[in-house]
Amino acid sequence: MPLLEDGRLVADHWASVADGPLPEGAVIVPPARLAEAAPRNAPLGVSIGNDVQVDTLAPWLPRLALVQVTLPKSKDGRAFSQIRALREYHGFRGEIRVAGHVIPDHYAMLLRCGASTVVVPEGSDPAVWRAARRVVSIAYQHAQSAEQPLALLRRRVA
Amino acid sequence: MPEAPFLRVPEHARTYRYDAVDREFLAQRIAEFRGQVRRRLAGELTEDEFKPLRLMNGLYLQLHAYMLRVAIPYGVLNSAQLRQLAYIARRWDRGWGHFTTRQNIQFNWTRLVDVPEMLEALAAVDMHAIQTSGNCIRNTTTDEFAGASPDEVADPRVYAEILRQWSSLHPEFTWLPRKFKIAVRGAEDDRIASRTHDVAVQLKRDPAGAVGFTIHVGGGMGRTPILGVPLFDFVPEAEFLRVMEAILRVYNALGQRENIYRARIKILVRDLGRDGFLALVQDELARMPVEPYRLAPEVVQAIRAHFAPPPFAAAEAVALPADPAFAAWVRHNTRPHRQPGYASAVISLKPVGGIPGDATAEQMEALAELADRHGFGELRVSHTQNLVLPHVRRDELHALWQGLRAAGLATANFGQGTDIIACPGLDYCALANARSIPISQQISERVDALDRAHALGELQIKISGCINACGHHHVGHIGILGVDKHGAEAYQITLGGAPGNDAAIGELIGPSFGYDAVAGAVETILRTHIAHRQPGERFLDTYRRIGQAPFKEALYAVA
Ligand code: SF4
């Protein structure tokens, strides 16, 4: 499926492997396969369900270049807290990828929580995502993305 | 769209005044929703995807039409805003609006195509419908006498406004398991049903005079009514938003999502226990950086400036005219004011036999006029679905009352038996089991007759059309709940509930009553109270003293 980064479609260099043999190169695996995949000499990512406490990933984070979170339904917002916790509590600097039922209206908020990329449905128009991201340029609370402070609680985000 | 001077904001009305940044945010937000409506109409969004988006913009689909719920932040508005609400009611609805228990107003006959224009009309007076529904942090409610009441420790509007800003489009908390309601009060006296909220904040001062917050968590109505439990005794002001963040983080991560009836924070707090929940909140606090979440004193001060006292006159104490109808209104519908010579006046939206919370466009305009003339152009909406002029000179009360009478708004029943809270029920609401409004009208007439003969005193009757409990029936002295009994409307009655400092969940008195019997049952209950009461006792006191048995017997004794 296409991958969106910074409002553009980009090539995806990662292979997602739930089960079966691990291919060469960068792989995204479920948490249960981290021990098996970690010793390989290739970039490592993990895909977590939205009921996973990201603290359980802590021992692996130094080794991980990517964490993928999932929205099983568009209105299930647990991933937003997972993303923020990875950035804020664990100082994770790698890619945070969002998969599942993501809609353009999530995009700006996902980025503010600290997401990097979104797996978008086949045929998505990146212009719609770019527009959705820029439509509201002011925010009233601290978040994980770089922002320009304005007076009081406000900051400019886009 | 009407222009100034129609929309001229009264100089001394203390609403939060938007600046260019706030207006830009609002304009963008409306543009966003306009785009979402367009994408929905073009089929780019499914109804499933659109639903949470329209809900976040206050748009519900009811039985007969869309309903637009407009935010009145913490129930504070000025006369220009009220005039604009009247204009909207007339232009896009059927000439009236309905004030809600969340201190908002809703328009029940909205067309989807009109919504973007309605939102623009609202934005012209710095109003919006953001987060009045959906699984996000809703409009914070507060005391309708804020800034006026003599017993206030600190002004709750300041912190309610801070919460409003902080929770607006919060990136992490816009897709919560369920809606989230916060109430803030500044006085010990709980006039806002604090413990029925997901989070209740009470302002306190430490011995040095610094503001802090007592926080309760996990209250809620609905199928499983629970009163909030104390979480923190005194959170310092600087930590306010950090603590809110921490509570919401725990809830967003762990709140139930599968079962809508188990998704409110009250269930999480109950299941974890207060201490278990607190430990998780403290764990978050221990890990959160301090500085980014610190509520700076300059911010508080700048926001407090929006709520500075209006220029009160040095008014003399006056003797009020002796007219008995006026005296009754003063007795029931005015409250003491911290400023000598002033009072707060409650405008009852509960005419006997009327629809609780409804106001016509003409009434709204009359009220705006009276607010300009007698109350600095400022009004409040109370959670009991009434309106308040917070600052009225006592020597102008009579003139105000005459103006109210002319507009049909001088019902002298605030806090009395006919001041009924009722949800929209089956007349509008798609979730309802039974009608609330006509039941409320019938009860109101019976209670009025009893009250005239027997002076019932303070009495809170609350009616919900289904277990979602929007009418707060669980905390009514007399609570009425519409249920479905083999396809027919039926009503369960609970007694002994209370919303305030003596908060309690009412107890079910027995089998339900049919549509035609419920008003009679309420009369029977009140007659039983009258027969047993001791001097000065309210219904609630009598019930708590003598218990269920006499009421049960009167209601169910086989004839
Ligand atoms: S209590 Fe039920 S019937 Fe009444 S407004 Fe709420 S959801 Fe609708």
The number of distinct structural domains making up chain A is 1
Residue B2 has pLDDT above 50, yes or no: no
What mean pLDDT value characterizes chain B? 94
**Amino acid identity for residue B334 in this structure:** T
Q: What is the pLDDT of residue A57?
A: 97
Interface test with B, best of A56, A80, A90 (most B CBs within 10 A): A80
Residue B398 has pLDDT above 90, yes or no: yes
Residue B443 has pLDDT above 80, yes or no: yes
Range of the domain at A58: 3-157
Q: List all residues 6 or more positions away from A117 whose beta carbon is below 8 Å from its beta carbon.
A: A3, A4, A5, A10, A95, A96, A97, A98
Q: B313-344, pLDDT tens digit by residue?
A: 997 778 899 999 999 999 999 999 999 999 99
Q: What is the pLDDT of residue B318?
A: 83
Residue B1 has pLDDT above 70, yes or no: no
First to last CA, chain B: 63
Q: Kindly state the average pLDDT of the residues B465-475.
A: 96
Strand residue runs (E) in chain A: 3-5, 8-10, 15-16, 27-29, 44-47, 66-71, 95-100, 117-119, 138-139, 148-149, 155-156
Q: Over its length of 158 residues, how does chain A's per-residue pLDDT go in tens digits?
A: 899 999 999 999 999 999 999 999 999 999 999 999 999 999 999 999 999 999 999 999 999 999 999 999 999 999 999 999 999 999 999 999 999 999 998 999 999 999 999 999 999 999 989 988 988 899 999 999 988 999 889 999 97
Quick one: what percent of chain B has pLDDT higher than 70?
99
Q: B247-300, pLDDT tens digit by residue?
A: 999 999 999 998 988 999 999 999 999 999 999 999 999 999 999 999 999 999
- Integer angstrom CA distances of residue B438 from A24, B161, B426, B433, B549: 71, 36, 10, 14, 29
Cβ-defined contact of B165 to A77 (cutoff 8 Å): no
Residue B56 has pLDDT above 90, yes or no: no
Residue B505 has pLDDT above 50, yes or no: yes
- ipTM value: 0.96
Q: B110-155, pLDDT tens digit by residue?
A: 988 888 889 889 999 999 898 888 899 999 999 999 999 999 999 9
Cβ-defined contact of A135 to B49 (cutoff 8 Å): no
- Alpha-carbon distance B243 to A34, whole Å? 35
Name the minimum distance, in Å, from the CA of A23 to any CA of chain B: 34
What's the longest Cα–Cα distance across chain B? 71
Nearest CA to ligand 1 atom 2: B466
A131 touches chain B (CB under 8 A): yes
- CATH number reported for the structural domain that contains residue A89 in this entry: 3.40.50
Q: Which residue of A has its CA nearest to B25?
A: A138
**Amino acid identity for residue B69 in this structure:** R
Name the minimum distance, in Å, from the CA of A149 to any CA of chain B: 11
Q: Kindly state the average pLDDT of the residues B448-458.
A: 96
A89 touches chain B (CB under 8 A): yes
Q: What is the pLDDT of residue B30?
A: 83
Confidence of residue B53 (pLDDT cuts 50, 70, 90): confident
Cβ-defined contact of B299 to A142 (cutoff 8 Å): no
Nearest to A75 among B52, B168, B249 (CB): B52
Residue B370 has pLDDT above 70, yes or no: yes
Residue B431 Cα to ligand 1 midpoint, Å, equals 6
- Which residues does chain A have within 8 Å of residue B292's beta carbon, measured at their own beta carbons? 142
- Which residues does chain B have within 8 Å of residue A108's beta carbon, measured at their own beta carbons? 171
- Alpha-carbon distance A77 to B175, whole Å? 4
Cβ-defined contact of B253 to A53 (cutoff 8 Å): yes
Q: What is the pLDDT of residue B4?
A: 43
Q: Is the CB of B7 under 6 A from ligand 1?
A: no
Q: What is the 3-state secondary structure (H, E, C) of B239-301?
A: HHHHHHHHHHHHHHHHCCCCCHHHCCHHHHHHHHHHHHHHHHHHHHHHHCCCHHHCCCHHHHH
Q: What is the pLDDT of residue B487?
A: 93
DSSP 8-state code for residue B28: H
DSSP class per residue in B354-392:
S-TTEEEHHHHHHHHHHHHHHSTTEEEE-TTS-EEEEEE
Q: What is the pLDDT of residue B559?
A: 54
Q: Is the CB of B470 under 6 A from ligand 1?
A: yes
- Model confidence, pTM: 0.95
Residue B193 has pLDDT above 60, yes or no: yes
Quick one: what percent of chain B has pLDDT higher than 90?
85
Residue B166 has pLDDT above 70, yes or no: yes
Residue B5 has pLDDT above 80, yes or no: no
Q: What is the pLDDT of residue B3?
A: 47
Cβ-defined contact of A80 to B249 (cutoff 8 Å): no
Q: What is the pLDDT of residue B32?
A: 84
- Structural domains of chain B ordered from first start: 4-123 (3.90.480), 148-303 (3.30.413.10), 421-556 (3.30.413.10)
Cβ-defined contact of A80 to B169 (cutoff 8 Å): no
Residue B441 Cα to ligand 1 midpoint, Å, equals 17
Q: What is the pLDDT of residue B6?
A: 64
Measured from the Cα of B424, ligand 1's closest atom is 5
Q: B81-94, pLDDT tens digit by residue?
A: 999 999 999 999 99
B316: Cα within 13 Å, side-chain hemisphere: 3
